[in-house]
């Protein structure tokens, strides 16, 4: 068994509860231990006794127990350690009669402790997505809370609470492990949900401003960066003509609700009205009707006003008369958009 240094290193680095010193025992006598002693010792590690095993020297028999403990893995690490140590210092008889049972009890006690810790800690480890290793099971609560802190997302409620728990009392550390971490995690979940909802709402607002910006020729990137209040102010002072429908609508926005209504719908209604007003002003100018008066009139009365003011016998007067007699809003609009200018061109030819 030349691996004593390696075994000791494994025991330390894995955090196993290593006995302070090997169990003291007298040097084994030359006589071999009785069959009953060997049989009982072998049963501790599930080693089936055979005639061949009974014929082995005591040292070789202890080595077989060491190998059996090694096959059992971590749950028999104290027995494995004691078997290795007994053969090294020549205390095999004491090991078979006494030390193996003391070591086995330490293994049982440790595994019982680990099971309690596993029950307490597994949910917290799973919550943060890391494996609950035997190393973590071997550590006391302060070390495990620190591990939770390391795995928690930065700037999270869980991380902040873990940092506080590390400095807290033993009871506070335990409370954080079994309960507090889940409360803080829910706060993180709620905060993330709230942030996502806020971002979604802000995106809706940004998209609305970008869409509204097109109505006045504002740069879409600028509109996305502005607040509703800044957007309305920019429309009022930089994009709307004085006394236009757009200017009046923007000027009337005093509350957040009014500004939002303007961005969602009002700006488009104002733009449409200004478009019609510009159309009426251009058409009315053909016969000298003032723009302010033309904007004031509805389309039907404006067509009549143009007919009244046009020169008798002209194509403009005739076209205005036809539109007026049609009593059709569509015909009025067609006359104001194109008909009057076609007639004006005919009068000039």
Query: In whole angstroms, how large is the CA radius of gyration of the chain?
Result: 46
Closest by CA to 13, choosing from 145, 131, 148, 134, is 134
Domain limits, the chain: 4-114, 140-217, 218-273, 286-348
Q: Which pLDDT tens digit goes with each residue over 8-48?
A: 333 333 333 333 333 434 444 344 789 999 999 999 999 99
What does the alpha-carbon distance between residue 176 and residue 158 come to, in Å, rounded to a whole number?
10
Which pLDDT score, from 0 to 100, does residue 27 have?
40
In which residue are the tokens 């709230």 written? 194
Q: Is 278 exposed, middle or buried (0-12, 13-18, 19+ CB in 10 A)?
A: middle
The upper half-sphere exposure of residue 42, i.e. CA atoms within 13 Å in the direction of its Cβ, equals: 18
What does the alpha-carbon distance between residue 302 and residue 296 come to, in Å, rounded to a whole number?
9
Q: Which residue has the higher pLDDT, 20 or 222?
A: 222
Cβ neighbours, 10 Å, residue 201:
10
Taking residues 325-332, what's their average pLDDT? 94
pLDDT at residue 4 is higher than 80: no
342 sits in the region (left: phi over 0; alpha: psi -120 to 50; else beta) called: alpha
Quick one: pLDDT band at residue 227, thresholds 50, 70, 90? very high
DSSP 96: I
Q: Give the predicted TM-score (pTM) of the model.
A: 0.63
Quick one: pLDDT band at residue 88, thresholds 50, 70, 90? confident
pLDDT above 70 covers a percentage of the chain that reads 91
Does residue 128 sit in helix, strand or coil?
A: helix
Joined tokens for residue 27: 């040097």
What does the alpha-carbon distance between residue 137 and residue 29 come to, in Å, rounded to a whole number?
40
Q: Is 347 exposed, middle or buried (0-12, 13-18, 19+ CB in 10 A)?
A: middle
Quick one: pLDDT band at residue 241, thresholds 50, 70, 90? very high
pLDDT at residue 3 is higher than 80: no
In which residue are the tokens 């004006």 written? 344
């Amino acid at each position: 068994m030349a691996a004593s240094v390696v075994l000791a290193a494994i025991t330390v680095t894995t955090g196993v509860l290593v006995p302070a010193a090997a169990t003291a025992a007298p040097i084994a006598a030359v006589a071999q231990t009785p069959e009953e002693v060997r049989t009982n010792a072998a049963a501790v590690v599930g080693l089936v006794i055979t005639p061949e095993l009974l014929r082995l020297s005591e040292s070789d028999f202890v080595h077989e127990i060491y190998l059996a403990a090694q096959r059992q893995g971590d749950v028999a690490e104290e027995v494995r350690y004691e078997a290795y140590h007994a053969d090294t210092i020549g205390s095999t008889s004491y090991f078979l009669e006494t030390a193996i049972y003391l070591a086995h009890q330490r293994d049982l006690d440790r595994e019982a402790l680990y099971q309690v810790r596993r029950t307490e800690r597994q949910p917290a480890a799973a919550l943060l997505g890391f494996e609950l290793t035997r190393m973590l099971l071997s550590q006391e609560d302060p070390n495990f809370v620190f591990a939770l802190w390391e795995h928690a997302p930065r700037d999270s409620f869980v991380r902040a609470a873990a940092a506080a728990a590390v400095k807290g009392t033993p009871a506070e550390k335990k409370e954080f492990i079994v309960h507090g971490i889940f409360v803080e995690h829910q706060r993180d979940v709620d905060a993330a949900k709230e942030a996502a909802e806020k971002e979604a709402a802000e995106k809706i607002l940004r998209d609305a401003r970008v869409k509204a910006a097109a109505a006045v020729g504002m740069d879409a990137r600028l509109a996305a960066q502005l607040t509703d209040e800044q957007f309305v102010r920019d429309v009022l002072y930089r994009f709307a003509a004085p006394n236009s429908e757009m200017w009046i609508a923007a000027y009337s926005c005093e509350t957040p609700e009014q500004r939002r209504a303007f961005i969602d719908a009002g700006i488009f209604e104002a733009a449409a009205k200004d478009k019609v007003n510009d159309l009426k002003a251009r058409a009315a100018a053909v016969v000298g009707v003032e723009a302010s008066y033309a904007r004031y009139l509805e389309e039907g009365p404006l067509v009549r006003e143009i007919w009244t003011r046009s020169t008798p016998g002209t194509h403009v007067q005739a076209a205005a008369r036809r539109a007026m007699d049609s009593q059709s809003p569509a015909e009025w609009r067609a006359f104001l958009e194109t008909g009057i200018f076609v007639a004006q061109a005919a009068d000039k030819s």
